[in-house]
């Protein structure tokens, strides 16, 4: 049974850096890509970026200047940093698993973290 458990700060001030981590339990970490997806309040889903076990990354072009992802294979964890946040970055952030570039088969998701950016 695959489980994704995520955590990170939920309240940020403008210009701060959002940091989230997702731990993967129960399945081969190296066989998949690991994504971050966000959802502003009352709105749709937006893919932020993905990383695999070797550190290969792909980012949404609209966010690439502010996004950094990393992976810790010893702990089966991956992380997201989003710099210079504004109110527009407020929303629920999810981590999710897929088969990688070309695939949009997010079959396992974290529980979501509500991130609020407010002064």
Partner 1 sequence: QSVLTQPPSASGTPGQRVTISCSGSSANIGSNYVYWYRQLPGTAPKLLIYRNNQRPSGVPARFSGSKSGTSASLAISGLRSEDEADYYCAAWDDSLRGPVFGGGTQLTVL
Residues that bind partner 1 (CB under 8 A): 35, 43-47, 49-50, 58-61, 94, 96, 101-107, 109-112
Q: Look-up: residue for tokens 């002064």? A: 119
Q: Which lies closer to partner 1 via its Cβ, residue 16 or residue 27? A: 27
Report, in Å, the least distance between residue 109 CB and partner 1.
Answer: 4
Report, in Å, the least distance between residue 97 CB and partner 1.
Answer: 10
Q: Look-up: residue for tokens 């109110």? A: 87
Q: Which lies closer to partner 1 via its Cβ, residue 88 or residue 119? A: 88
For residue 97, CA distances in Å to 8, 13, 30, 35 come to 18, 29, 11, 6
Q: Which lies closer to partner 1 via its Cβ, residue 62 or residue 73? A: 62
| 55: three-class secondary structure by DSSP | coil
Report, in Å, the least distance between residue 64 CB and partner 1.
Answer: 10
**Distance in angstroms (rounded) separating the CA atoms of residues 82 and 10:** 13
Q: Which lies closer to partner 1 via its Cβ, residue 29 or residue 33? A: 33
Pull the structure tokens for residue 93. 């952030």
């Amino acid at each position: 049974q695959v489980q994704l458990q995520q955590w990170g700060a939920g309240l940020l001030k403008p210009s701060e850096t959002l940091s989230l981590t997702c731990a993967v339990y129960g399945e081969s970490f190296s066989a998949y890509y690991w994504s971050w997806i966000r959802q502003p309040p009352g709105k749709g889903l937006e893919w932020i970026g993905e990383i695999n076990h070797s550190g290969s990354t792909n980012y949404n072009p609209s966010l690439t200047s502010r996004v950094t992802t990393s992976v810790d294979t010893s702990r089966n964890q991956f992380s997201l940093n989003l710099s210079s946040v504004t109110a527009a970055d407020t929303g629920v952030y999810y981590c999710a698993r897929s088969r990688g570039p070309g695939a949009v088969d997010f079959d396992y998701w974290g529980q979501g973290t509500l991130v609020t950016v407010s002064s």
